[in-house]
Amino acid sequence: MINVHEASQFLETIIREAGALSLEYRKELKTIRVEQKATDRDIVTEADQAVESFLRKEIGEKYPDHAVLGEEEGETGSSPCRWIIDPIDGTIAFLHGQYQYSVSIALEVEGRTELAAVFAPALNDLFTARRGKGAFLNGTPLHVSDTEKIGDAVFASGFPCIRAGMKETNLPLFSEMMMHIRDFRRGGSAALELCFVASGQQDGYWEKHIEIYDVAAGILMVEEAGGQVSDYRGGREGLPTEVLATNGRIHRQSLDVIRPFTSSR
């Protein structure tokens, strides 16, 4: 139905071009157009929109029958092959001139992610994964860390719940996790946090109230690098809204801390 090898080469080409386009906007951050989204603290920039339209144009020319789900324009088309796009994941990091933002793209075939790419243009780091074939950073195979104890682990998370004005926030769980882990990082791009778990730079990541386009590519990256991904109860039903990703060895210990913070479903 689709030549996955050919699609992976296409994906690498367009994600690099999309990243280059974002870097052009990054040179003009002082004058970039910024709009509010659902709440006044949730924003979208001109660059998010331009990168998504570029990717939609490229995918539409190469695979006119495929469906596309993008953060800015929603879902278009209907097909067993669906491209899931986050044009700029970490929009706040991008807008503030920081390095930790990414373009994230996954290709789903019949509901299963087969290909993933996450590109951090300001770092020139391209993470790629193909189901059953491993995960890579700039072509070099990736492996999760071998940390055995949560007390030796560095974790990341995020707080979109607060910007979205939700009653239930990540703050109580954050306070509890801080008492169990070695240290915490917060970069601002869920896609990249998952790539950093895949590459062993950090041992775990948790976040709630996120969307499939934030994490579809990153989840495959962690799994192909030998890590584990689940919802906050250890299952998969809560994905992708709730994500716990670890190197696998500390997954159960992390769930022990997180489980009491799950609300009824």
Instruction: Give the residue numbers annotated as catalytic, written as ranges.
Output: 71, 86, 88-89, 91, 214
Task: Based on the shown chain and the rule CB under 6 A, indicate whether residue 164 belongs to the binding site for ligand 2AM.
Answer: yes
Least Cβ distance, residue 43 to ligand 2AM (angstroms): 8
Phi/psi for 51 (5° steps) reads -70, -40
Per CB under 6 A, the list member of 210, 217, 221, 255 interacting with ligand 2AM is 210
Per CB under 5 A, the list member of 48, 58, 89, 193 interacting with Ca ion is 89
- How far is 208 from 244, CA to CA, in rounded Å? 9
Task: Based on the shown chain and the rule CB under 5 A, indicate whether residue 86 belongs to the binding site for Ca ion.
Answer: yes
SS (H, E, C) 71-117: CCCEEECCCCEEEEEEEEECHHHHHCCCCCCEEEEEEEECCEEEEEE
Count of residues near ligand 2AM by CB under 6 A: 18
Structure tokens at 141: 């195979």
- Considering only 6-14, 60-68, 83-91, 115-123, which stretch makes contact with ligand 2AM by CB under 6 A? 83-91
CB atoms within 10 A of CB 107: 28
Per CB under 6 A, the list member of 42, 46, 73, 125 interacting with ligand 2AM is 42
Task: Based on the shown chain and the rule CB under 6 A, indicate whether residue 89 belongs to the binding site for ligand 2AM.
Answer: yes
Task: Based on the shown chain and the rule CB under 5 A, indicate whether residue 48 belongs to the binding site for Ca ion.
Answer: no
| Residue from 99, 85, 5 nearest 50 by CA | 85
Residues interacting with Ca ion, by CB under 5 A?
Answer: 86, 89, 214
